[in-house]
Amino acid sequence: MKLSQFKFKLPEDKIALHPTKYRDESRLMVLHRRTGEIEHKMFKDVLNYFDDKDVFIFNDTKVFPARLYGNKEKTGARIEVFLLRELNEELRLWDVLVDPARKIRIGNKLYFGADDSMVAEVIDNTTSRGRTLRFLYDGPHDEFKKALYALGETPLPHSIINRPVEPEDSERFQSIFAKNEGAVTAPTASLHFSRELMKRLEIKGIDFAYITLHAGLGNFRDIDVEDLTKHKMDSEQMIVNAEAVNTVNNAKDKGKNVCAVGTTVMRAIESAVSTDGHLKEFEGWTNKFIFPPYEFTVANSMISNFHMPLSTLLMIVAAFGGYDQVMDAYHVALKEGYRFGTYGDAMLILDK
C-alpha cells in the first residue's frame, strides 16, 4: 500500500486537547468488520460486547516525565531535552533528543532546575537531534532518578496536543494499571479504562492479560517514503510473560474473544506469536510494522483511538478492520464530531 492512501483532512478543532471529565465517558464507535455496520456508544458500553472468560490484553507500561528544560553553559540558551531511555545506571548515561540541536555539541554542559542543581555533559552525537548525556550526580541511583524526574514534565505529544502541560496531565496521560516504567508516550486506548469499568468487566467474568511495550516517539515519526514496504519502524522494548501467555491461549483454545487494547498491544502480540497462532513468551525488542494487508493471528477484536492522518497507528487499525471500512468509519467519525488523537474518543472493532 501507499502512504498517500492514509491521507485525510483532519480539522484542528477535531483534535482533543483535554481528556473527557471521566475516563470511561468518551464516545465509542463500534465497527463490525464483517458487515461494515457502525454503532455510536459511550466507552463504558464496551462491557456489553464481551462475555464470561473473554480476555482483554492491556499494555501496563508506565510513562515517565521525559521532557526537561535546561540551560546551556555560558550562553544560558534554553534547551529542551527529551529523555528516551537510560543507557547505563552506574554512569548515569541517557539517550536523549535535544532542541535546538544545532547548538548542542559534544563537551557542552547543560544545567537543569531553578538552582542549576542537575548538570549533564554531552558525550556523543547519535542522530541529528539525538545525543548521549552523562548526568553528573553524586548519590544513590534511586535518589538521582527521583531528582531527575522531579525536574521533568509529562511528555504530551506537542505535535497533537498543542498546549502547555497542566497538573491533571500527570494522572490522565497514564493508564490506571500503569506499572512498568519505560514509556515516553501513553498507550492511548488504555486511558479510557476507569477503576469502575475494570470492576464491572471483572464481575462479568472477563479476564485480563498484561503485556509491556514501552511506547516510544517512533509512534509520531513522519513516514518519508510513499512505498510502505520501505518504511523502518523504531525498535521498542517489550515483554510478554508466562501469565499473559496462559490467559490468552486458554481463551483462544476455548473459542473465546481476545481483545487487543490499543495498537501497542497489537504490535506486541503479533511480534510474539508462534506458528500455530498461539501467543508465546517474549522479552526483547520489536520493530514490527503492520499495514494492510495483514493476517492477524492472536486477537479477534481491538480497541483504538482515532489516529492522525498518515500515521503508522492508523495503518495498524486499517489492517485489522479492513482499509475501506476503517477509512469510511473515520469519515463518519469526522461528520459525527468524534474527537481525535491522544485524548480523543475510541473505536471498537469486532469480528462479527
Q: Is residue 157 part of a domain?
A: no
Alpha-carbon distance 125 to 67, whole Å? 19
Q: What is the DSSP letter of 300?
A: S
As a whole number, mean pLDDT of residues 17-27 equals 97
- For residues 259 and 296, state if they share a domain: yes
Would the pLDDT of 352 be above 80? Answer: no
Categorize the per-residue pLDDT at 306 as very low, low, confident or very high, splitting at 50, 70 and 90: very high
221/233 Cα distance (integer angstroms): 9
Categorise residue 304: left if φ over 0, alpha if ψ from -120 to 50, beta otherwise: beta
Residue 172 phi/psi, 5° resolution?
Answer: -80, -20
Contact call for residues 294 and 87 (beta carbons, < 8 A): no
Question: Taking a C-beta distance cutoff of 8 angstroms, is the pair 149, 118 a contact?
Answer: no
Question: Would the CA dihedral through 20, 181, 270, 260 be positive or negative?
Answer: negative
Mean pLDDT of the residues in the chain = 94
In percent, the amount of the chain with pLDDT more than 70 equals: 100
pLDDT digits (tens, 9 = 90+) for 143-155: 999 999 999 999 9
Same domain membership, residue 44 and residue 191: yes
Residues 98 and 55 grouped into a single domain = no
Residue 263 DSSP code: H
Residue 163 lies in a domain: no
Tell me the C-alpha to C-alpha distance, in Å, between residue 269 and each of 56, 125, 180, 299, 329. Answer: 12, 33, 17, 8, 25
- For residues 145 and 187, state if they share a domain: no
10 and 37 co-located in one domain:
yes
pLDDT of 98 reads 92
Dihedral Cα 230, 234, 235, 240, nearest 10 deg: -90
Per the structure, the complete domain to which residue 128 belongs is given by 65-151
Q: Please tell me whether residues 128 and 22 are part of one structural domain.
A: no
Helix (H, G, I), strand (E, B) or coil at 144: helix
Q: Is residue 159 situated within a structural domain?
A: no
Q: Is residue 33 within 8 Å of 351, Cβ to Cβ?
A: yes
Instruction: Tally the domains of the chain.
Output: 2
pLDDT tens across 58-105, in order? 999 999 999 999 999 878 889 999 999 999 999 999 999 999 888 899
* 187 plus 42 within the same structural domain: yes
Q: What is the mean pLDDT of residues 156-183?
A: 94
Q: Is the dihedral of CA 236, 239, 245, 247 positive or negative?
A: negative
Sign of the C-alpha dihedral computed for residues 309, 314, 96 and 16 taken in this order: positive
Q: Look at residue 252 in the predicted model and tell me its pLDDT.
A: 96
- pLDDT tens-digit readout, 196-250: 999 999 999 999 999 999 998 777 778 989 999 999 988 899 999 999 999 999 9
Same-domain status, 234 and 114 = no
Grid coordinates given for 26: 468518551
Distances, alpha carbon 305 to alpha carbons 16, 58, 65, in Å:
11, 14, 22
Decide if 299 contacts 260 (C-beta within 8 A): yes
Position 160 in a domain = no
DSSP run (H or E) holding 329 = helix 323-335
- 113-132 per-position pLDDT tens digit: 888 889 999 999 887 788 99
**The last residue of a domain, from among 83, 117, 151:** 151
Residue with cell 552525537: 125
Cα separation, 155 vs 113, in Å, equals 17
Asked if 1 and 290 count as a contact pair (C-beta separation under 8 A), the reply is: no
Residues 218 and 317 in one domain: yes
